[in-house]
Amino acid sequence: MATQLDLQEQEQLDALKAFWNKYGNLITWLLVLVLGAFAAWNGWNYWQREQGQKAGGMFEELERSALAGDADKTGRVFADLKANFPRTTFTEQGGLLAAKVQFEKGQTDAAKASLTWVAENAREEEIKTAARLRLAAVLTEGKLYDEALKALAGATAPGFEALVADRRGDVLSIQGKKDEARAAYQVAYAAMGEKVDYRRLIEAKLTALGVAPGSPGAAAAEAVPAVSAVAASAAAATAPGASK
């Protein structure tokens, strides 16, 4: 009986050895890959958290500088954010905030550079479009009207159609292109939600150009989607005369 059991165990061992000789290397490499991927994933998450914390700390420093009205320091911190954490939301928001302070302090070229960086490097189209709207406002202040219109041409995030059309109308109106400005304002008026206060400003612009907002020309623009809540909240920040 013992001999029979020994033979069975030996057969099982031989089968196991044969299996391992055939598939052992494959199993080992699969285990190495799985464990390596798991370690890499944990390492990536740790690195992301660490990067986010460091970027957040620098953004807080940028905020303090901005609140103090220190455009030079705000610009330096933003430069550090770009160099060390270019793919974080903190850097994108930092660029918008830095540009605001730079513009207010008369550093127009620096403000344009900050907004251009955000417009070209932000991950979300909404942030890119917000940056282009503000950039267009800064360019308009500098009488660079063609450049402002070019910046607006790249502002394509869904839900921002009304604000983009309104800003285009401002640029065209300053250029004396009344018909084109009127058409742009009509698009903006039709796309802006009826309950959004900013719509009253567009209505005033149309009235100044001799167009009743409810006229057939304005109604023809109704095909444009209504402005989103996110875009509506940006209206005050991008309005002419507001901080860019």
Q: Angle 155-236-123 (CA atoms, 0-180°, nearest 5)?
A: 35
The answer to whether the CB of 99 falls within 8 A of the CB of 115 is: yes
SS3 87: coil
- Residue 46 makes CB contacts below 8 A (sequence gap 6+) with none
Local confidence band at 117 (pLDDT 50, 70, 90 cut-offs)? very high
Q: Given a cut of 50, is residue 224 above it in pLDDT?
A: no
* pLDDT of 32: 63
Per the prediction, the chain carries an average pLDDT of 80
* pLDDT of 19: 66
Residues 83-106: tens digit of each pLDDT:
999 888 899 999 999 999 999 999
Q: Given a cut of 50, is residue 192 above it in pLDDT?
A: yes
Can you give the C-alpha Rg of the chain in angstroms? 30
Q: Given a cut of 50, is residue 227 above it in pLDDT?
A: no
The structure tokens listed for 50 are 């660490």
